[in-house]
Amino acid sequence: MKIFIIGAGQVGATIVEALHDEHELTVIDLDEERLAAISQRYDVATLEGNGASRRVLTEAGITTSDLLIACTSRDETNIVAAMISKACSARTTTVVRTTNPEYLEVWREGQLDVDFIVSSEVETAQAISKTIGVPAARQTDTFAEGQVQMVEFDVTEKADSSLIGAPLREASLPPDSRVAAIIRDDSVVIPRGGEDLRPGDRIVVIGSPAAAKQWGELIAPGTGTVRDVVVFGAGRAGIAVARLLLEQGIGVRLIEASRERARDVAAELPAARVYHATGFDADFLERERIADAQVAVFAMRDDMKNHFAAALAKVHGARFTVAIVHDTPSQEVFEYAGVDVTVNPRQITAEEIVRFAHDPRTQQVVMLEGDRFEVLDITTKRDSEYVGLAFKDMPIRGAVIGALVRNGRAVFPRSDEVLQPGDRVIVFTESSRVPVVEKAL
């Protein structure tokens, strides 16, 4: 594939590293030194110039390209670059990196002529929420910008009695969710409503974030879901994390050092409790019992501040700490300080973008049980044999559609819902059947 990459910063470099072997890359950046550093290490074409300029793009041969990745640190440059290349070359798939969630929203409503948008903040927030997630779950993952959640549970004797023994269609299950698979004694059952759950089963549930949380309470009553997360720093990253957690019904306390910023955030996220304070004030931490929170997330802009605040929170007894880290070397320092999880937004963004280079139609893949099962996020083709069929009439081929995304909104289908071309579907299937499923859809 011929791929254009606009922006040779940290994200761009990570993408180049992942793709340079298999694809023909052209990297465009304004900074000569950055380009030199990349061209020394990898066998890629580089071009010094403005990626958002039509002249530069056409001279570089945009019409012959298959994919354009715009990943500079400036949202507007990225969007303009993608729109220009779309106008010059309709066959080029465009992927844009953004740090502003509003662009993501606009794109989801179909108002931006860009094929895919990857938001660093949202990806980071999802990575963090995955580590916090549902405590009873073995594994959780989110799809469709956090609107759909996949959770894997072990059913035990402790599970709510209404769940055990009764056929699924009769059990009162959380709305907007379905059991995609029951894994029992090494065999997998795709339930159609008549099956029941037994202790010892392992189940995969696909549903809304709220439903996933309710499932957690059903599976392990009283173990407590995460109710109290403290987020330090109400920058874009902090807000994205807080918003995602609030959407999942998790209580969030936000600590922000700037008075003005704190006020804005309190107006933006009315469900969060916002404090105007720093994470470095031991009195404050003690008085507000910050260490009692189940999870502390450090999302300030400055790695060193995050480091100090995380260490202080640990001293005060914080149990589980997650830090956003911007520089790769900091990661080691944080781990040395006892921070439980570190998340690097640039790395996560790059990884997410790289996925598009593999198969642009499949947006996300999650592996379960090692690599026995996969959950795919696929956009249906116009000529798919499933399009136009109601869910109850679809042939079973060892795959189950847990949710679909239509016009940017998640839909948890009832049996009489009809699949339409262009729907994004979240499919659970055995890994061996992935090619069959991809072809059928």
Partner 1 sequence: MSAAARAHPRRRPVLAVDVVGVLNVVGTLVAYLSLAPLLPAAVALGYEESPWPFLAVTAIAGGLGLATMLATRGDHRLGIREGFLVVSLTWLVAAAIGAMPYVFSGEPQVNDLVDAYFEGMSGFSTTGGSILTDVEALPRGLAMWRQFSQWLGGIGIIVLALAVLPRLRVGGRQLLEHELPGPEIESLSTRIRDTARRIWILYVALTAALFTILVALWATGVDDEISPFHAIAHAFTTIPTAGFSTKANSIEAFAPATQWVIVLFMVLGGINFALMYRALVRRQPRTAARDEELRLYLALLVVGALLLIVEIWTEDVVSGWSAVREGVFTAVSTMTTTGYSVADYNTWPALALMTIVGLMFVGGSAGSTSGSVKVVRHVLLGKILRREIDQTMHPEVVRPVWLNRTVVDERTLRGVSSFILLYIGIFILGALVLAIDAARTGLELSTIDAVSVSASMLSNVGPAFGVGGPLGSFAPFSDFSKLVMIALMWMGRLEIIPIVVLLSRHYWRSS
Determine the Cα–Cα distance for residues 441 and 438; give it in Å rounded to an integer. Answer: 5
Q: Which of 105, 106, 171, 284 binds partner 1 (CB under 8 A)?
A: 284
Of 48, 115, 217, 288, the residue at the interface with partner 1 (CB under 8 A) is: 288
Tell me if 397 contacts partner 1 by CB under 8 A: no
The CA dihedral of 234, 228, 136, 364, to the nearest 10 degrees, is: -10
Which of 269, 394 has the CB closer to partner 1? 269
Contacts of residue 283, Cβ cutoff 8 Å, sequence gap at least 6: none
What is the CB neighbour count within 10 angstroms for residue 340?
17
Measured from the CB atom, the residue of 108 and 276 that comes closer to partner 1 is 276
- Shortest separation between residue 314's beta carbon and partner 1, angstroms: 21
Q: Tell me which stretch binds partner 1 (CB under 8 A): 54-62, 97-105, 206-214, 269-277.
A: 269-277
What part of residues 293-322 is at the interface with partner 1 (CB under 8 A)?
Answer: none
Distance CA 299, CA 248 (A): 19
Which residue number, 137 or 277, has a Cβ lying nearer to partner 1? 277
Min dist. Cβ of residue 284 to partner 1 (A): 6
Name the segment binding partner 1 (CB under 8 A); options: 72-80, 270-278, 311-319, 364-372: 270-278
Please identify which residue in 110, 194, 222, 270 interacts with partner 1, judged by CB under 8 A: 270
- Could you tell me how far CA 30 lies from the centroid of its own chain? 30
Report d(CA 31, CA 290) in Å as an integer.
44
Question: With the CA atoms of 43, 48, 50 and 54 taken in that order, what torsion angle do they form, in degrees rounded to the nearest 10?
Answer: -80
Nearer to partner 1, 31 or 268 (CB): 268
Number of residues that bind partner 1 (CB under 8 A): 15
* The one among 56, 104, 277, 325 contacting partner 1 by CB under 8 A: 277
Question: Which of 43, 157, 222, 267 contacts partner 1 by CB under 8 A?
Answer: 267
By beta-carbon proximity to partner 1, the closer residue of 262 and 425 is 262
Burial class for 287, CB neighbours closer than 10 Å (0-12, 13-18, 19+): exposed
Between 312 and 354, name the residue whose CB sits nearer to partner 1. 312
CB 78 within 8 A of CB 72: yes
Determine the residue type at 66.
Answer: D
Is residue 419 within 8 Å of 380, Cβ to Cβ? yes
Min dist. Cβ of residue 157 to partner 1 (A): 42
Q: What is the DSSP string of 130-186?
A: HHHS-TT-SEEEEEGGGTEEEEEEE--TTS-TTTBSSBTTTS-PPSSEEEEEEEETT
Stretch that binds partner 1, among 209-217, 275-283, 362-370, 406-414 (CB under 8 A): 275-283
Scanning 69-77, 142-150, 190-198, 276-284 for contacts with partner 1 by CB under 8 A, the matching segment is 276-284
Among 212, 262, 310, 325, binds partner 1 (CB under 8 A): 262
One-character DSSP codes across 362-412:
EEEEEEETTTTEEEEEEEPPTT-TTTT-BGGGSPPSSEEEEEEEETTEEE-
CB of 234 to partner 1, least distance (A): 10
- By CB under 8 A, name the binding residues for partner 1: 256, 259, 262-263, 265-267, 270, 273-277, 284, 288
